[in-house]
Homo-oligomer: A and B are copies of this chain.
Amino acid sequence: MTTPQTPSLVNEDEAIYELEKVLGARKDLEPDELAVMQEALENLSLRQVIELIERQPSKRGAVLLRLLAPQRATAAFDALDPGHQADIVGALAHEDVTDLFAALGVEDRVQLLDNLPAEIADQVMSGLDEEERESTNALMGYERGTVGRHMSPDVLVVEPADGVEGVVDKLKAEAENLETIYTLPVVDEDRVLIGITGLKDLFAANSGATIGDIMHEPAWAEATDDAEGTARWFLSTHHIAIPVVDADHRLVGIFTHDEAQDVIEGADNEDHARQGGSEALNKPYLSTPVVELFRSRVVWLLVLAVSAILTVQVLDVFEATIAEVTVLSLFIPLLTGTGGNTGNQAATTVTRALALGDVRKRDIAKVMWRECRVGLTLGAVLGTIGFALAWVVFSQEIGIIIGATLLCICTMSATVGGLMPILAKAIGADPAVFSNPFISTFCDATGLVVYFFIAKTVLGI
């Protein structure tokens, strides 16, 4: 049996951790250690090298990158997150950066530029040749988050009258410089997109055929379309790449499945982070300095803490009631917690549905009506249990208060939780921002008002 040389993709890799132990915690390596490390790196697969770099602080990553042969360094650098690339660029010498930057595809280059400080961005741009600089600037002209920002202009364009054989020759000659050869947009004399063909069609065609004979109707996106929505759509339809056009339906580039994948991963990272009340890191966790972790969280935490002062004020109003019936204070975390949980459930469900395109802004009434019913049912179940338990342990009055409060809180929280992400989207904010932390704070404050209102009514104070 032949022994496989490349390891399976996901198994943990002892070789990486062994090397990491050698690196240890020291900041700098001695010259002779560098030679040893260089040899060790040569024995790793590209995938292992990338994983090793992703687990180190960026300065250390830059050192490792410099130890690699130029081609491997380029490939490894290409595979890193844009934020991580930017940190490494900051730690590398100017001439190293220029080479790595020029070797990136134009769409990856644009993502990196977004993460670089202005003066470094200018420096690396000046290292590009005229043509590369122009195509990079063209993409930078589109707004962030649009398809234009993520497309590649390097696509072979064919016309209906072109013969299949001629196109095949041209493809063979230019394959090296093209982003993809699987999808070929067909345009008319004004560069207006009129069809699509691809390697598979060329391959199946008779040699005497023209592109016009084999082209078919294209799926396409406009350069100003939302990149995340387009990426989700076209990946779910199993395309490998789709042509991108301007407002006049003229071809401007191609959006490939791997770039679409990067867009979705970036968007999901952001949603995950914001749902948890922090900013996305856009680089691997272990290569992120502690101070950046702190920065990604502190503003959120402060804003949430400041809005939580509202709960202090609400309770301040009811301080006399608490002083009179101290037992009411025991249920505060339980009630606010349950409200927060119900609100989060609704908010995260609707946020995800919005991201996937399952729900649109105009569905707001539908969503609220559904969430209101779900909340009411949940509230009925929890309220009944709460009533029974509080009656047994404390008193019938406390049971009624807890049961009624849970019913109201669940209904309100689910409705508001479903509403908030759609409202956020309607005003142009990120729905994920409202899906966890703000829902909790909101539910805390309103829940307490409801609680004490019910308590005062039932107890007659």
Contacts and interface: CB of A to CB of B under 8 A. Distances in A.
Interface of A: 1-2, 4-6, 8-12, 17, 47, 51, 54-55, 79, 168, 171-172, 175, 181-182, 188, 190, 192-194, 199-200, 203-204, 217-222, 225-226, 229-230, 233-238, 240, 242, 248-249, 257-258, 261, 265, 268-269, 271-273, 275-278, 281, 284-286, 290, 293-294, 297-298, 300-302, 304-305, 308-309, 311-312, 315-316, 319, 322-323, 326-327, 329-334, 336-338, 340-342, 344-345, 347-353, 356-360, 362-363, 366-367, 370, 373-374, 377-378, 381-382, 385-386, 389, 410, 435-437, 440-441, 444, 448
Contacts of A363: 286
A277 B345 contact: yes
A193 B257 contact: no
A129 to B, nearest CB: 25
Contacts of A9: 219-221, 225, 229-230, 233-234, 242
Contacts of A378: 294, 297-298, 301
Given A220-B6, A273-B349, A337-B308, A326 B322 contact: yes
Contacts of A193: 4
Residue among A9, A337, A441 with the most chain B CB within 10 A? A9
Q: Oligomeric state, in number of copies?
A: 2
A337 B437 CA distance: 9
Contacts of A326: 319, 322-323, 326
Contacts of A298: 377-378, 381
B4 A79 contact: no
Interface of A is mostly: helix
A224 B367 CA distance: 40
Nearest to A54: B358
24 contacts: A1-B248, A9-B225, A79-B236, A199-B200, A235-B258, A272-B275, A272-B348, A272-B351, A275-B275, A276-B344, A278-B345, A286-B358, A286-B359, A286-B363, A298-B381, A304-B338, A305-B386, A315-B332, A319-B326, A319-B329, A329-B329, A332-B333, A340-B440, A344-B437
Nearest to A75: B237
A340 B436 CA distance: 11
Given A240-B240, A327-B319, A308 B333 contact: yes
B249 A348 contact: no
A208 to B, nearest CB: 16
A312 B290 contact: no
